[in-house]
Amino acid sequence: MKAIVQNSYGSPDVLELKEIARPSIDENDVIVRVHAAAVNAGDVFSMRGSPWLARFSVGFPSPKDHVLGWDMAGRVEAVGEAVTRFQAGDEVFAVCEGAFAEYVSVGEEKLALKPANLTFVQAAAIPSGGITALQGLRDIGNLQPGQKVLINGASGGVGTMAVQIAKAMGAEVTGVCSTRNVEMVRSIGADHVIDYTQEDFTQGGERYDLILDNVASRSFTDLRRVLAPQGVVVPNSGHGGMGYVFKAYLLSPIMRQQKTPFLSSPNSEDLTFLKELIEAGKLTPVIDRIYRLSETPAAFRYLEEEHAQGKVIITVAENGK
């Protein structure tokens, strides 16, 4: 099968389109023919081998035909003997390893049926960003209806999901983004939008019950300044450097309003919850650009150089259909 692999760390030039063996299948696994996949910040960290600790999961001292990609949507090709919830032909989506390939092997517990009203390209934009936003708001932040929420970094893959999920949960939502993204963030449901190039939200008079920080652009002291008395800051550790994550871990035990940085935990139940929001018209993916599998290095360059609106998608099957 064709796949994007890396055998060293560095720029997008290290990414190669190669023929490799198809994944094997265990009794609890599902083989999926990938139609589309999404590029995430975590993929860039893996490609660069930075922060350095990422190399222990990707390959140390260097990767060996490592296949990147975490988000995918596709059609079930085969199922293991113990799989009960899926069958060949099902249209599915998931967070999994090795999504920039024609086939992936996914544990049944991480897979869900694709939303019926989305294409494969649209569905590939949902899994990791949607799950991260959902778990950050619901599980870590304990978001309640009527609360005021600020999403710092509202125009990216997690941010666009968080704005819509928070609205679906009954919150009053403020999104922070750059000038070119203001109208887009407003169009997906934000009650208020702050252009950070024109206004410093940490100096305003509004107070928030929850701040989901996706960009690590402000200090924790600045963020706590605009919290309500019982408010909390939820740091998304997938979007901050090691210094940001380390500081957040140090502060969380001694600062009541500072939550521990979190990494999302993919599972079929949360994907199904997102599917239901999508089918109810409460959650819509935002897609910036679409590239073919052979153009994956260009997709990585774009993601590194620009502030993408929502997700950058790779089509693996023809046109992602």
Q: For residues 16 and 7, what is the distance between their CA atoms, to the nearest angstrom?
A: 9
Looking at residue 215, its pLDDT comes to 87
pLDDT for the residue numbered 318: 66
pLDDT of residue 180 exceeding 50 = yes
Question: Do residues 19 and 4 touch, judged by C-beta distance below 8 A?
Answer: no
Residue 207 is predicted with a pLDDT of 97
Predicted pLDDT of residue 216: 75
Identify which of 239, 25, 14, 232 has the alpha carbon closest to the alpha carbon of residue 140. Answer: 232
User: How far apart, in Å, are the Cα atoms of 291 and each of 3, 295, 314?
Assistant: 14, 6, 5
Backbone angles phi, psi at 313, to 5 degrees: -115, 145
pLDDT of residue 320: 52
Work out the average pLDDT over 225-239: 83
Alpha-helix runs per DSSP H in the chain: 41-48, 55-58, 120-124, 127-134, 157-168, 182-187, 220-225, 242-251, 268-279, 296-305
Q: Give SS3 for 282.
A: coil
CA angle 16, 19, 25 (to 5 degrees): 115
61 C-beta neighbours (distance < 10 Å), count: 8
Burial (CB count within 10 angstroms: exposed 0-12, middle 13-18, buried 19+), residue 33: middle
**What's the pLDDT at 219?**
80
User: Within 13 Å of residue 238, how many CA atoms lie on the same side as its CB?
Assistant: 22
Tokens 């140390």 belong to residue: 60
- Domain segments of the chain: what residues? 2-126+285-320, 129-251
Please write the tens of the pLDDT for every residue from 234-265. Answer: 988 655 444 445 444 444 444 444 455 567 88
CA distance 194 to 185: 10
Lowest model confidence (mean pLDDT) among 181-185, 193-197, 220-224, 286-290: 220-224
Please state which of the four CATH numbers 3.40.50.720, 3.40.50.300, 3.40.190.10, 2.60.120.260 is assigned to the domain occupying 129-251.
Answer: 3.40.50.720
Q: What is the pLDDT of residues 14-38, one digit of tens each?
A: 999 999 999 999 999 999 999 999 9
Residues in the chain: 321
The arrangement of secondary structure in 2-126+285-320, i.e. its CATH architecture, is Alpha-Beta Complex (3.90)
Q: Is the dihedral of CA 294, 316, 286, 112 positive or negative?
A: negative
- pLDDT above 90 covers a percentage of the chain that reads 75
| Mean pLDDT computed over 128-139 | 96
What is the structure's pLDDT at 42? Answer: 86
- Indicate the burial class of 256 (C-beta count within 10 angstroms; 0-12, 13-18, 19 or more): exposed
Average pLDDT over residues 177-204: 96
What pLDDT is attached to residue 139?
94
Q: What is the mean pLDDT of residues 171-181?
A: 97
Do the first three CATH levels of 2-126+285-320 and 129-251 match, i.e. the same topology?
no
Q: What tokens does 223 get?
A: 């963020």
Q: What are phi and psi of 292, to 5 degrees?
A: -80, 165
Q: Comparing C-alpha atoms, which of 88, 23, 15, 84 is closest to residue 299?
A: 15
Contact 300, 39 (CB under 8 A): yes
Is 225 exposed, middle or buried, given 0-12, 13-18 or 19+ CB atoms closer than 10 A? Answer: middle
